[in-house]
Each structure stands twice: as C-alpha cells, then as structure tokens.
C-alpha cells in the first residue's frame, strides 16, 4: 500500500472518529431544551459532555490539518467549493463553544436561556451541514479541468445532499439520546431512552435510504457490505434501547455512524473529490497527494504522537465515566 492511500485511510479514520464522538455532543446540544425540563436538568445534560466536547473537536482539527498537508489540492478545492457551508459550520461551532463557557457566568434565567438557544443552534447547524458537506464530497462538485469550483451555493443543495443532512441530524439526535441514557440517572435517563426509541426507527430508515442512494452513485461490494453492517448495528442498538441496555445501545449507534462514514469513504476511493462536469477535472489519491518525502515525514510524526493523543483521550473518558443526575447539581 502506497503512502497516499495510507493517508487517505488515516484521514477517513479521523473523520470517522470525529463523527462518532462529536455526534453525541451535537445530539446532546440539540436535546438540551427537550430533555432538560429546568435549569438543573439542563446543567446535568451539559455536564455529561463538559469534560470531553472540546477534546472531541481535536479530531476535526487533526483531520483538516492532515488533509492540508497530505492532499493540498483536495483541501484547497474542497474548502473553496464548500466555502459558505463550512463558514456557517465554523461560526456555529464557535458560538457553541462560547455558549458552554458563558452560560453559567450570570444567574438570570434570561441570560441562561439565550445561551441555551446558542447551544441548540450551534449543535443543530453542524449536524445538518456535515451531512450536506459529506454528501457533496461523495457526489462530486462542478470542477473545471484546473480543479476550480465552477458552481454556486445553491448547487450544493441538491436532493442527495439534503437527504444526507437530514440523515446526519437524525443519527446524531439518536446517538445523543443513547449517550444521555448511558450517562444519566432518574427521569432524564428514562426520557432519553424513550426518545431514542422514537427517533431510532426514523434514523434507520433515512440512513438506509441515503446509503442505498449512495450505492447508485458510486461504490461496490465493500461499500455495500459496510452499508448493510451500519444498518444492522443501528437496529441492534434500537433493540438494546428497548431492553434498557444503555451501553450496548450506545455502542450500536456509535458503530452505525462509524460504519456509515467508512462506507462513504470506501465508495469515494480512489477519488478524493470527483468532478460532475468533466471526469478529468476530478481529484484522486494520486494527483492530489503531496510529495513522497512530505508524506514520509508526516508518517513518522503520526507514529510518534498519535498513540499519546489516543491514550490521553481514552484516559479522559475513563475518568469521567460515571453517571450523573440532578442530585449531583447544587441548586
């Protein structure tokens, strides 16, 4: 296996980890006013992700950095074509991070309500935009022979992309509800389980439709196998939810998201950004990669530091592994 392919797989793995980990973050943020009936309950929801949400975003930063260094043409063309949605996504992530920090700075209910709305908006917007962005990545963009984007913002909102946005939204909401059922006690846990039972079938239906549509665009036997495994994992998670097996339910939704992203990247390979205008204008693993020397240096850096980052984040989740409830939150 050559280094460009290795780095394509590493970038795919980074995005997979990001969607799995940040997916339940987004779900919790979206569900803040739904499952949090009062301020103490909303503080419980925020505290479930408080120790980890910013660490989860490191996966996105690392993925973008690896794409910039390993495939500079892919990075430049993709970020140019998706400039507006990625800008909106970045603003939403900034707003969400500020809201987490500032919500508790003042005690007035109106102050907290405004920041709660910011958390919801900052979670809902990326949940939809990421689905649109990834769908456009797989579908392809209108690129010229020089790999320049030749479309407009509305060209990104075709039916396949919109289905992708709704699919990631429902997946993240179900994933977030499963995470809250795993991390909380009492009424919040019961309501999270009930919500996961309602949103899960919708997420499974949309995911199956989106992946089936993907297979008509690109992909072969490997993509189809991963797609089927994603649906099976999600259905298994729903069964576990009905049996109140919170750990298995969360594992099911996490596996479904991971396998879905893996299926999309498998179907994309060996392209990294197809062109809908001229196949010759598309970017592939071969023509978009950096020099072999650059990839070699990056590989040694990744071998040295990636295990340390993984160990630290795993340790963080282990330290904050216990359930929390309203009784842990002072009035």
Q: Which domains does the chain have, with CATH numbers?
A: 3-328 (1.20.1630.10)
Check residue 309 and give its pLDDT. Answer: 87
* pLDDT tens for the 331 residues of the chain, in order: 799 999 999 999 999 999 999 999 999 999 999 998 888 999 999 999 989 998 899 999 999 999 999 999 999 999 988 999 999 999 999 999 999 999 988 989 899 999 999 999 999 999 999 999 999 999 999 988 888 888 888 889 999 999 999 999 999 999 999 999 999 999 999 999 999 999 999 999 999 999 999 999 987 899 999 999 999 999 999 999 999 999 999 999 999 999 999 999 999 999 999 998 888 888 999 889 999 999 999 999 999 988 998 999 899 999 998 999 888 888 7
Task: Give the model's pLDDT for residue 219.
Answer: 78
State the pLDDT at residue 155. Answer: 87
CA gyration radius for the chain? Answer: 20
Give CA angle at 11 (6, 15), nearest 5°.
145
- Report pLDDT for 169: 97
Look at residue 151 in the predicted model and tell me its pLDDT.
81
């Amino acid at each position: 296996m050559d280094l460009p392919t290795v780095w394509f797989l590493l970038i795919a793995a980074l995005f997979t980890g990001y969607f799995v980990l940040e997916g339940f973050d987004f779900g919790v943020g979206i569900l803040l006013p739904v499952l949090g009936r009062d301020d103490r309950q909303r503080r419980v929801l925020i505290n479930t992700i408080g120790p980890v949400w910013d660490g989860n975003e490191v996966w996105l930063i690392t993925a973008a950095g690896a794409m910039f260094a390993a495939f500079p043409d892919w990075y430049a063309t993709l970020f140019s074509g998706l400039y507006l949605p990625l800008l909106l996504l970045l603003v939403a992530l900034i707003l969400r991070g500020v809201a987490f920090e500032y919500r508790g700075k003042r005690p007035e209910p109106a102050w907290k309500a405004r920041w709660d709305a910011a958390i919801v908006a900052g979670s809902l917007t990326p949940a939809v935009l990421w689905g649109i962005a990834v769908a456009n990545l797989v579908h392809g963009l209108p690129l010229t022979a020089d790999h320049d984007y030749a479309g407009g913002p509305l060209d990104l909102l075709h039916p396949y992309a919109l289905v992708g946005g709704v699919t990631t939204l429902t997946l993240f909401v179900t994933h977030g509800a499963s995470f809250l059922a795993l991390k909380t006690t009492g009424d919040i846990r019961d309501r999270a389980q009930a919500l996961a039972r309602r949103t899960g079938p919708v997420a499974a239906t949309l995911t199956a439709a989106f992946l089936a549509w993907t297979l008509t665009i690109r992909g072969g036997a490997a993509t189809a196998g991963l797609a089927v495994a994603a649906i099976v994992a999600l259905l298994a998670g729903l069964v576990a939810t009905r049996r109140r097996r919170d750990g298995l339910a969360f594992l099911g939704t996490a596996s479904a998201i991971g396998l879905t992203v893996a299926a999309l990247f498998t179907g994309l390979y060996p392209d990294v950004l197809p062109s809908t205008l001229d196949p010759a204008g598309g970017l592939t693993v071969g023509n978009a990669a950096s020099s072999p020397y650059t990839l070699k240096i990056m590989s040694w850096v990744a071998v040295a530091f990636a295990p340390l980052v993984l160990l630290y984040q795993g340790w963080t989740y282990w330290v904050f592994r216990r359930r929390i409830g309203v009784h842990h939150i002072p009035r």
